[in-house]
Amino acid sequence: DCALKIEKAVGRMPGILWSSVNYASSLLLVEYQRGGAVSESKIIKQIHDLGYDISIPSESAKHVSKLNRRTIATILSGVFLSAALVFSVFDMESAVRPLCILSAVFGGLYSLRAAFYSLRVRSIDTNVLMVTAAAGAVAIGEFFDAAAVMFLFSLGAALESYTVEKTRESIRSLVELTPTEALVRRDGVEVSVSAADVRVGEIIVVKPGDRIPLDGDVLSGRSFVDQSLVTGESIPVEKAPGSEVFAGTINQDGALEVRVKRVSGEDTLSRLSRLVEIAQAQKAPYQQFSEKVGRVYTPIVMLFAAAIMGYAFLSGHHDFIRRALVLLVVGCPCALVISTPVALVASLGRAAKSGVLIKGGVYLEGLGRAKVFAFDKTGTLTEGRLDVVNVAAFNGDSDEVIRIAAAVEQMSEHPIAAAILRYAKSQEIQVPKAVDFKAEPGLGAKAFVDGIECLVGSRKFVEKLGLPIPDLPSSSGAKTGSIVFVVRNRELLGAVVLADVLRDSAKEAVAALRRQQVKNICMLTGDSESVAVSAGSDLGIDNIYAELMPEEKVSIVRDLAERFGGVVMVGDGVNDAPALVASTVGVAMGGAGSPVSLETADVVLMSDNLLKLPFAVELGKKTLRVIKQNIAISLSVVVLMLSTAVAGRLNLTAGVIGHEASALIVIINGMRLLRFRPKSVQRFWDFD
């Protein structure tokens, strides 16, 4: 209820457009009009007036010291209460009362202060209820019960703070691992400066074993970099000139020179951390339900307690006073209110550590409920680049076909040329030098290799030469790929078949979604029907929509959402942005290297590993189960304590224990999600 109180008070300030507080992430998110009646300092003052501290992340040490002070007060309260219990056993009643009072004072130090500030703004929260119950116990001479109430409540609050702080650390640790210093080359000299002072375009030097301080592109050097902090990939990635590197990642075995492309604070890791913190402050449907119940429940219980208290005084049944005091203790449904946010914060933190950015609990719930998935093909299910899939030799062998093709194409900038050259390198084929290269637009290219004219091009190019073209076998992939023919000295040597190959993780990702009872998996692509059907049949796709324009993809996504009650669209986050926006949950791939994806999609897979999608879906399902468990636990405890309190079978001490224990149980249950490991994706950790 402290989070709701802050949210309500800040939301009432003039000029505030929107405010949200998440108890589990300890984050206040405010949107307000700059230059208006409200300012940052006024918002901070408003929160201080409520009796709460507010600080920026760099001041986390202050939070720890405050937490320690409360822990010390709780320990002292427990010591005095234990001493009172010992003295009561030996019938030394004269010492029991002062010890109980000391225990109540130390246990209630923070609660009394919080209750004062709550009443000052005409708000009633758990602290007010607990202090009132303890004061009532003192008034009727139950000093031990008063001390027990304050000690147990303080102990529960300290334990809650400790456990929730562990959840918050899952995200806070991301930014704290980014180096604050950078080694910059200026005027030919390497100088160590603050990372915040490094400008875009400057050259930084990263030594083996160091964390990379800023995003950039490698200029020189080769090394393997541990990118797990950003992308969730457990296997280090090789970096060479032209490769992109990210702040916070670890350079392993070689020195790198990197040209900075994003300043400190705007790097991928910082933006990821900010987006996760904002996501944690968003409220999912289950959380809104819990808060609505909490707003109604507490006033009703208080009115009921007041009625019982009035009946006790009017009828002379003073034992009913104890029942009213117990009702005050159980009158705040803390466990119910925090049952959802603690699970969501843990899940969002767990996802971020595995390279999946989920921008709010509503999208996590959406993934958990989703039964229909629509995939773009190019760059999502496939690698998004052409690769050689077959080489057919008509005269000579296949190595000779590639040798000639690569020689001609080494002067070309065409994607087909790049694919042939990559293949030649992978096969360790020596490529001779070509001269007199000439591109033939729309047809191909020609050059002289070993003094002989050679051509690489389309069927039309070969037909213009009057050469017969034999049929290629169906197993060559010719029906669904691109074909270039290789000619030497007017003799057709062979053909090279190229295609956009499926990702290694695509087939298993689709199978993993099947294991999670996904009803319908679709493919949306602008490619030809033959290419789409070939890829779809290999993957086991249910419905294939081919030769689509971007607006047609949007129309199909909207239709699927209407027919099935929601749809998850998976694309690259750039070309598919309209379809992602039209879907219930939009998922973009490769977000680590794409700032646009980080902004446009609801869920971002930071690497190109599709197996992270079923991981996120299973995490969403698990989160929904944990939230339902937490709500069931908290409601059951509320009903049990209310019924026993009204029946007079629950004392103050047991009431506080039940109240605090239920809150701790839902927190610990939610925290299990920090250690979540998927079951549907058998090889996930090989790709992670």
| pLDDT value, residue 474 | 61
Which of 502, 522, 553 lies at the terminal end of a domain, its last residue?
A: 502
Which has the closest alpha carbon to 495: 462, 450, 453?
462
Q: Is the pLDDT of residue 523 over 70?
A: yes
**Strand (E) or helix (H) holding 457:** strand 452-457
- Alpha-carbon span 585 to 363, nearest angstrom: 6
- Residue 191's pLDDT is 93
Exposed/middle/buried for 146, CB within 10 Å: 0-12, 13-18, 19+? Answer: buried
In this structure, of 66-75, 248-257, 535-544, the range with the lowest mean pLDDT score is 66-75
Say if residues 179 and 136 touch (Cβ distance below 8 Å). Answer: no
9: left (phi over 0), alpha (psi -120 to 50) or beta: alpha
| Residue 474: DSSP 8-state | G
List pLDDT tens digits, range 371-404: 999 998 888 898 878 889 889 998 878 999 999 9
- Single out the residue of 227, 229, 111, 130 nearest to residue 175, CA to CA: 229
Regarding whether 473 and 585 lie in a shared domain, the answer is no
Same domain? For 603 and 685 the reply is no
Answer yes or no: is pLDDT of 61 > 70. no
Q: Do strands 181-186 and 250-251 pair parallel, antiparallel, or not at all (unpaired)?
A: unpaired
Q: Are residues 233 and 130 in the same domain?
A: no
Domain count along the chain: 6
Q: Looking at the predicted structure, is the pLDDT value of residue 364 above 50?
A: yes
pLDDT at 324 over 70: yes
- What pLDDT score does 134 carry? 87
The angle subtended at Cα 375 by Cα 372 and Cα 380, nearest 5°, is 150
Residue 510 Cα distances to 465, 514, 550, 614, angstroms: 46, 6, 23, 8
What average pLDDT does range 471-490 have in this prediction?
77
Which of 48-52, 283-287, 396-400, 580-584 bottoms out in mean pLDDT, i.e. has the lowest?
283-287
Q: Which two tokens stand for residue 497?
A: 């078949």
d(CA 567, CA 585): 7
Same domain for 273 and 167: no
Residue 51 has pLDDT above 80, yes or no: no
Residue 376 falls in the annotated catalytic set: yes
Mean pLDDT of 90-112: 88
The residue among 351, 147, 398, 136 whose CA lies nearest residue 232 is 351
pLDDT given at position 67: 53
Q: In what order do the strands lie in the sheet with 181-186?
A: 189-194, 181-186, 203-206, 256-260, 216-220, 244-245
Which residue segment(s) compose the domain that 428 sits in? 383-502
pLDDT greater than 60 at residue 170: no
pLDDT of residue 688: 45
**Chain centroid offset of residue 534 CA:** 34
Residues 281 and 324 in one domain: yes
pLDDT of the residue at 336: 81
Helix (H, G, I), strand (E, B) or coil at 481: coil
Residues 30 and 95 in one domain: no
Q: 659 and 615, same structural domain?
A: no
Tokens at 193, concatenated? 């400066």
- E strand or H helix that includes residue 345: helix 334-353
Six-digit token pair at 425? 């390198």
Does residue 679 share a domain with residue 607? no
**In which order are the strands placed within the sheet that holds 603-605?**
356-358, 603-605, 585-589, 568-571, 372-376, 520-524, 543-545
Q: How many CA atoms lie within 13 A of 517 on its CB side?
A: 5
Record the tokens describing residue 487, joined without a space: 């000619």
Mean pLDDT, the chain, integer? 83
Given a cut of 60, is residue 59 above it in pLDDT? no
Structure confidence by residue, pLDDT tens digits, 115-158: 887 777 777 777 888 888 888 888 888 888 888 888 888 887 77
Residue 373's pLDDT is what?
A: 96
Predicted local confidence at residue 434, as pLDDT = 94
- Domain termination site, one of 37, 54, 71: 54
The pLDDT of residue 65: 46
Asked if residue 433 has pLDDT above 90, the reply is: yes
pLDDT of residue 687: 43
The residue that leads in pLDDT, 243 or 329, is 243
Catalytic residue among 376, 500, 576, 688: 376
Identify residue 674 by its one-letter amino acid code.
Answer: L
Give the span between the Cα atoms of 466 and 236, in whole angstroms: 52
For the domain that residue 412 is a member of, what is the CATH number? 3.40.1110.10
Residues 515 and 508: beta-carbon distance below 8 Å = no
Q: What is the pLDDT of residues 135-144, one digit of tens each?
A: 888 888 888 8
* CA pair distance 55, 686, nearest whole angstrom: 40
Whether residues 627 and 524 fall in one domain? no
Are residues 450 and 432 in contact, defined by beta-carbon separation less than 8 angstroms? yes
Q: Helices marked H in 90-185 — which ranges?
A: 93-107, 109-120, 126-139, 143-176
Instruction: List all residues 6 or more positions away from 516 whose beta carbon is below 8 Å from its beta carbon.
Output: 614, 617, 618, 621, 680
The answer, yes or no, to whether residue 29 has pLDDT greater than 80, is no
Place 635 in a pLDDT band, splitting at 50, 70 and 90: confident
* pLDDT above 70 for 33: yes
Pair 508, 378 in one domain:
yes
User: Of 88-97, 331-340, 374-383, 612-621, where does mean pLDDT reach its minimum?
Assistant: 331-340
Task: State both tokens at 84.
Answer: 């009172």
* DSSP-assigned states of every residue in 285-338: HHHHHHHHHHHHHHHHHHHHHHHHHHHHHHH--THHHHHHHHHHHT---HHHHH
Here the tokens at position 657 are 């224990």
Do 481 and 411 fall within a single domain? yes
Could you tell me if 469 and 419 lie in one domain?
Answer: yes
Q: How many CB atoms lie within 10 A of CB 489?
A: 11
Query: Where does 514-672 show beta strands of DSSP type E?
Result: 520-524, 543-545, 568-571, 585-589, 603-605
Domain boundary among 450, 470, 502: 502
Counting Cβ atoms within 10 Å, is residue 186 exposed (0-12), middle (13-18) or buried (19+)? exposed
Using pLDDT thresholds of 50, 70 and 90, give the confidence band for residue 185. very high
